[in-house]
Amino acid sequence: MNIILLGPPGAGKGTQAQRLQADRGMIQLSTGDMLRAAVRSGSPIGLKAKAIMEAGELVSDAIVSALIGERLDDMGQAGAIFDGYPRTRAQAEALDLLLAERGRCLDYVIELCVDEDALVERITGRFTCAKCGAGYHDVFKRPKVDGVCDLCGSTEFVRRPDDNEQTVRTRLAEYRAKTAPILPYYEERGLVRRVDGMGSVDDVAAEIDAILDS
Ligand code: AP5
Ligand code: ZN
């Protein structure tokens, strides 16, 4: 099964993708994570992407589609969870091609719907494990033991440079202008399922599971 998690910054795409990966053996393909890894490594892609990401704008379609293509080639037959990709009509069309070339198809596009005020609160409270990348929140998802990652036991956590209120506003504007308009592309094919992203992490997970098991 191959699914897209679509939603604005902070909607919970990464949280649900990590959970699906752990529960179902699907693989999370997050272009945001791939780009952040490129920035950390100082690769040519990372050097191009750094300032764009810190401003909250979108990296070029060609770069992100190439990253997804490489990852699809490496992952064998496991199901894919596209997290933060596609974000433009050109990326949606590129993904169709990448999947068709590999004999795959899309099963669902799950739209996570969350109020904008909640998004800012979620993003500004977010932090992740520096070692394994597990995601947490100051209020909504603290580690079970304060200061210790639930998954790997690391005590080092990081916050993203683009998780400040001003950049979040730009990221939301980019979502409204460029990403939300791709929904009709998938609606025409009957692939879109809407999920109320305002519930708890477990409630949202249950709604997604019901769709995937239907
Ligand atoms: P990316 O990394 O994709 O960021 P994003 O889309 O802005 O999404 P986020 O990671 O901020 O949010 P999320 O929906 O994953 O929420 P999360 O689960 O963490 O992209 C970053 C940048 O890279 C872009 O701005 C762009 O520059 C570039 N980029 C990436 N992909 C690109 C592409 N395809 N094309 C061009 N450029 C691209 O949850 C947020 C917080 O809320 C967490 O702390 C979590 O614990 C908490 N939380 C989650 N669910 C709940 C819940 N149900 N209740 C309460 N709290 C919750
Ligand atoms: Zn960890």
Q: Please write the tens of the pLDDT for every residue from 126-154.
A: 999 999 999 999 999 999 999 999 999 99
Which numbered atom of ligand 1 lies nearest the CA of 16? 18
The reported pLDDT for the residue numbered 66 is: 96
Rounded (10°) CA dihedral 101, 62, 87, 36:
110
13 Cα–ligand 1 center, Å: 6
What residues have their beta carbon closer than 5 A to ion ligand 2? Answer: 129, 131-132, 134, 149, 151-152, 154
Active site residues: 13, 87, 126, 160, 171
The CB of 113 under 6 Å from ligand 1? The reply is no
| Closest C-alpha to 212, from 191, 196, 186, 189 | 191
Judged on CB neighbours under 10 Å (0-12, 13-18, 19+), 85 is buried
pLDDT tens readout for residues 148-182: 999 999 999 999 999 999 999 999 999 999 999 99
What single-letter amino acid sits at 102?
R
Separation between Cα atoms, residue 61 and residue 94, nearest integer Å: 9
The CB of 9 under 6 Å from ligand 1? The reply is yes
Separation between Cα atoms, residue 35 and residue 126, nearest integer Å: 18
Parts of the chain with a pLDDT under 70: none
14 Cα–ligand 2 center, Å: 15
- Per DSSP, 60 falls in state P
The reported pLDDT for the residue numbered 76 is: 87
What single-letter amino acid sits at 205?
A
Show binding-site residues for ATP. 10-15, 126, 199
Neighbours of 203 (CB within 10 A): 13
- Per DSSP, 177 falls in state I
| Closest C-alpha to 173, from 50, 55, 85 | 55
Query: Distance of CA 114 to CAs 10, 13, 117, 172, 196, Å?
Result: 9, 11, 9, 12, 7
The CB of 19 under 6 Å from ligand 1? The reply is no
| Closest C-alpha to 16, from 141, 131, 116 | 141
Q: What's the complex ipTM?
A: 0.96
Q: Residue 74 CA to chain centroid, in angstroms?
A: 19
The reported pLDDT for the residue numbered 134 is: 92
The reported pLDDT for the residue numbered 163 is: 94
Residue partners of 213: CB distance under 8 A and separation at least 6: none
- pTM, two decimal places: 0.94
Which numbered atom of ligand 1 lies nearest the CA of 31? 31
